[in-house]
Amino acid sequence: MKQRILMVEDEPGLVLTLSDRLMSEGYDVDSREDGESGLEQALAQTYDLIMLDVMLPKKSGFDVCRKLRQSGVQTPVLMLTARNQVVDKVVGLQIGADDYLTKPFDMMELLARIEALLRRSVAKPSETLMAYQFGSVKVDFRKAEVLRDGSGVTLSAREYQLLKYLIEHRGETISRETLLSDVWGYDATPETRTVDVHMAWLRQKLEENPRYPQYLLTLRGLGYKFDS
Ligand code: CA
């Protein structure tokens, strides 16, 4: 069966180019040009993935995403943001978007992100994790909030996604390449070193002793593991 994608985007040229390409990749594509009809469509039918532009007529991509999550729709959402909307990423994660792509983007990158999201949602356990606690750290997935000893820890969007992924796959050995492809969403750039840097930042923020981590473990030659 073909996987179904709903694209909510108001630039006709982009809709045309993307639909053509996605269909040639074997996806079924529906599109809507404003937030209101996009939301209606997303609630009326079942999709495997929803691409949401942030700046839309009638209802913003954020409002659409929030409404979908409130209505219990768990379909992966890939948000398309214009340049310079960095702050929006955090807002987006808090309201339940799964990934972001900044316009203009490379078609290969878009396809890689879509594949990663679809793969992730298939692999996801049926029961969605609401919160997770380790040591003095508590992660609230509904609010996209991380607390350490009761006070808020500021994570970048990518750090948060990485942490979430590791927790969802706790106990598993995960290679840097897998992390790059599933968390960053593409395999060419950035390099695997990027993963190490983000892991180091996470340890600084969350581990009691970052040099001797208890949870965010390095497995030499293999990758990383979240020890639960
Ligand atoms: Ca737009």
User: In CATH, what number is assigned to the domain containing residue 158?
Assistant: 1.10.10.10
The SS3 of residue 101 is: strand
Q: How far is the CA of 98 from the centre of ligand 1 (A)?
A: 19
- On the question of pLDDT at 185 being above 80, the answer is no
CATH of the domain at 58: 3.40.50.2300
Q: Domain of residue 216: give its range.
A: 131-226
Q: How far is the CA of 70 from the centre of ligand 1 (A)?
A: 23
Which alpha helices (H) appear in 103-207, and where do they start and end?
Answer: 107-123, 157-168, 176-179, 192-206
Q: How far is the CA of 142 from the centre of ligand 1 (A)?
A: 27
What is the predicted pLDDT for the residue at 126? Answer: 45
**Which of 38-42, 103-107, 198-202 has the least mean pLDDT?**
103-107
53-94 tens-digit pLDDT? 999 999 999 999 988 888 878 899 999 988 666 656 666 677
Asked if 33 and 80 sit in the same domain, the reply is: yes
Asked if 145 and 104 sit in the same domain, the reply is: no
Q: How far is the CA of 179 from the centre of ligand 1 (A)?
A: 30
Run of H or E residues at 132 = strand 131-134
- On the question of pLDDT at 188 being above 70, the answer is no
Asked if 9 and 119 sit in the same domain, the reply is: yes
Q: How far is the CA of 9 from the centre of ligand 1 (A)?
A: 6
Q: Please give the tally of structural domains in the chain.
A: 2
196: buried, middle or exposed (CB in 10 Å: 19+, 13-18, 0-12)?
Answer: middle
Q: How many CB atoms lie within 10 A of CB 167?
A: 16
Question: Strand 145-148 relative to strand 131-134: parallel, antiparallel, unpaired?
Answer: unpaired
Q: 18 with 27: CB under 8 angstroms?
A: no
Asked if 107 and 13 sit in the same domain, the reply is: yes
In the chain, % of residues over pLDDT 70: 90
Asked if 59 and 102 sit in the same domain, the reply is: yes
Q: How far is the CA of 102 from the centre of ligand 1 (A)?
A: 12
Question: Strand 216-219 relative to strand 223-226: parallel, antiparallel, unpaired?
Answer: antiparallel
Asked if 75 and 51 sit in the same domain, the reply is: yes
97 or 204, greater pLDDT: 204
Q: 5 with 30: CB under 8 angstroms?
A: yes
Asked if 169 and 92 sit in the same domain, the reply is: no
Asked if 119 and 146 sit in the same domain, the reply is: no
Asked if 176 and 221 sit in the same domain, the reply is: yes
Asked if 143 and 98 sit in the same domain, the reply is: no
The residue among 78, 82, 157 whose CA lies nearest residue 120 is 78
